[in-house]
Structure 1
C-alpha cells in the first residue's frame, strides 16, 4: 500500500511547548533509541485517529522545532483547524499521546552504580574535540542524565568557550588534586552550566593553567602507578553523583592522556563499551596519522596494564562534501574501518562557530540545528 506522504520529504514544525513536556520527550526518545522527529511523527499519526483528547497545559511554552513528513504536516494542520485546536495544542497532545503509549523501558539506574566515563581524545589539535565533547555532554544532560564535563586541556578552550573563567594558577584545581597538592574537596570547583533543556543536569570542572605542569610532575613522581591512576583517584569522590563523566582531553600523547585513557577503561563488572574513548577526526589524512599514534598509545597501555579500553567510535567533524575528493574519499576510509564505527558526521556549519563567539552552549544557541541533532545522535549511540 502506498504511504499517503513521503517520509524522506519533511517540513520544519515549530511549536511552543512547556519545558517539562519537551524534556520528557527528549528523555523518552533517548531511552527508546528513537529520533525525536520520528517520535513526534508517530504521535501525530496517533493523534489524527484519536478522539476526545485531554487539553495539555501549554502555558509558558518556549520554542520547540522538529520535522514532520510534508504530507502528514498538511493533514495535521487541516485536522487541527477542524477540531478547533491551535497547532501548539495539537502538537502538545500528539507528544503526550506518544509518551503515554511508549512508557519508559527500564527504571532509572540506582545511585551507587558509578558514572559511565566518556573520553574525547585525539593527538591532533583542531579536530573539534572541545566542540564535540561539549555538545555530546549537553545532549546527554538534556535527556535527564546528570553529567559532568571536564576541561582537561591546559589551554582551557572548553572553559572559555562556555563563558567561564579558568581557575587561577594559585587556586585548587583538578591537576593539584591529582598530585595531592590541593586542600578542600574537588566538588567545590564544579560550576553549573545554565540554559536549554539540560539545565540542572550539567556541570563543568573548569581548566586551570597549572595543567601545563601536570605531565612533568607525573613523569617525576616515584609513586607506583600514579601516572595512570591519578585522574581516577581524584575523581573517585564525584563518581556516585553523576551518570556520565565526559573528559575533553588535550592534543597530547603524554602522561595526562594515559591517566584519561585509564580512567575510561572497562572496569570489572562493567558492560563492554559502557565507557571508553570517542575520537573526533577530520576528513583528511593528518587526522588518520594522528589516530594511528593514539591507537598505538591505547594498545601499549592495554598491554602494559592488562586492561581493556573500548574504542567507542569516530565523530567526523566539520565535514563538507563540497571540498571534493579529499573529503569524500577520507570519509569513505573512516567508514571502511568498521570497528570502531563512525558514530556520526558533523556538517560544516556556522552554528558551532557562532556559539563559541557568543560564549553559549551549542544546544542553547542553536538547539534545533543540524549540528545539535548530530550531538544528540552521538549521545544516543554511546548511551545505548
Structure 2
C-alpha cells in the first residue's frame, strides 16, 4: 500500500483489510444451516488431467466436511487406482464396483453403495477393473452418458454426489463431466500443474457445447500451497490473474497430515480434527455452500 493510501486509511479511522493467499480480503464463510430434507443431489466432478494435484484428498475431505455439516454425500471412485476407496478404508475386492454398474453387470445402484466410517458419507468403490471400462464402452450407444444414467437412480437420496476422476481426459472423465452439474478443479501450486488448466477449461466448454449444457465451473481450488516459497505465491497469483473469481478463496496448504491421514484410511477432519488442514476443508465446504454450488 502506498503512503498516500495509508494516510487515507488512517484519516478514515479504518484498518486495511487483511488479505488472503489469493490477494482478496480474508473472510470466514458462515456455517451452513441444517437441511430439513435431502435431495435431489447436485453432482460435482473433481477433475484435473494432471495427477498428484489433490483430487482424491479433496474428494475425501470435502465429502467428510459436507457430511459433518449435515449433508448426505455419495462419493464415486472413478479412478482405476481406487485411491478414494482406500483413503476411506473401503475394501474393493469381491464387492460390486462402479465398473459393474457401467457395464450393466449390476443394474441396482444401491447394491454398490457402501457406508464409510463417516456418518452421512457413502461411497461407490472402484478397483483396477475400471481400467478396462473405456475399451468396453467405446462401441456403446450414447457412451458418454452411461454414468449419468447410473446416477439418476440415486440422486433423490443425496444432497451432493462427488466424482473423483482419474488423471486423464479420456472417456471416463467425459462421462463424469457429462453427468455433473459442476466441476471443481484442484490445482497444485506448481508451474507444470498450471499449464494444463487452460486445456481442461477448454474441454469443459466443449462438454457444455456438445453434451451437457448445464455444466458450470464451480471453482479452481489451489492445493499444496506453501506460503514460504515464492514459486507457490507466484503460481497462485497467475491463476487469480487468469481466472479471477473462478478461483476459490479457500486455499489448501501443504502438510504432512494428509499422507498420515491416508495411511490411517480416514479423512483429516477425523484424523486430526483441530489441525489447520481440517479447518481448510471446512472452509472449502462453507464456501461452496455460500457460492450455491452445494445446498
Q: TM-score, normalised by structure 2?
A: 0.83
Gaps of at least 5 residues in structure 2 are 1-17, 19-27, 291-295
Bigger RCO (CA 8 Å, 6+ sep):
2
Structure 1, residues 302-355: CA drift from partner, whole Å, max 9, x if none?
Answer: 22236132111111111112232x211101012222141234211111211110
Match of 2:146 in 1: 230
**Alignment counterpart, residue 139 of structure 1, candidates 59, 65, 77:** 65
Residue 109 of structure 1: how far off its partner (Å): 5.2
The 2-side partners of 1:164 and 1:356 are apart by 12
* Aligned partner of 2:228 among 317, 322, 327: 322
Per-residue CA deviations over 1:232-261 (Å, capped at 9, x if unaligned) read 111111111111111111001011111111
CA spacing shift, 1:254–1:142, aligned 2, 3 Å: same
Please say if residues 136 and 375 of structure 1, whose CA atoms lie closer than 8 Å, have aligned partners that are also in contact: yes
Structure 1 residue 173 corresponds to structure 2 residue 79: no
- The residue aligned with 2:23 is none
Is the CA contact (8 Å cut-off) linking 2:47 and 2:55 kept in structure 1? yes
Q: Do the aligned partners of 1:316 and 1:346 also contact (CA within 8 Å) in 2?
A: yes
Q: Deviations over 1:256-306 (max 9, x none)?
A: 1111111113xxxxxxxxxx0000011122112221221121111122236
Report the Cα distance in structure 2 between the residues aligned to 1:35 and 1:200, rounded to whole angstroms. 18
Hey, what does 1:302 align to over in structure 2?
208
Q: Which residue of 2 aligns with 1:206?
A: 125
Alignment partner, residue 261 of structure 1: 177
Q: How many residues align?
A: 263
Q: Which of 1 and 2 has greater Rg?
A: 1
Distance 2:131 2:175 in 1: 15
Structure 1 Cα separation of the partners of residues 249 and 148 of structure 2: 26
Aligned residue runs from structure 1 range 97-246, under 5 A: 108=35, 110-111=37-38, 113-168=39-94, 172-182=96-106, 185-194=108-117, 199-221=118-140, 223=141, 225=142, 227-246=143-162
In 2, Cα distance between equivalents of 1:165 and 1:207: 9
Structure 1 unmatched ranges of 5 or more: 1-7, 9-31, 37-103, 266-275
Whole-angstrom CA distance in 2 between matches of 1:357 and 1:306 = 37
Contact 2:76 2:123 in 1 (8 A): yes
1:158-189 CA distance string (max 9 Å, x none): 11122222244xx5321221222325x22122
Length-normalised TM-score, structure 1: 0.64
How far, CA to CA, are the matches of 1:368 and 1:110 in structure 2?
29
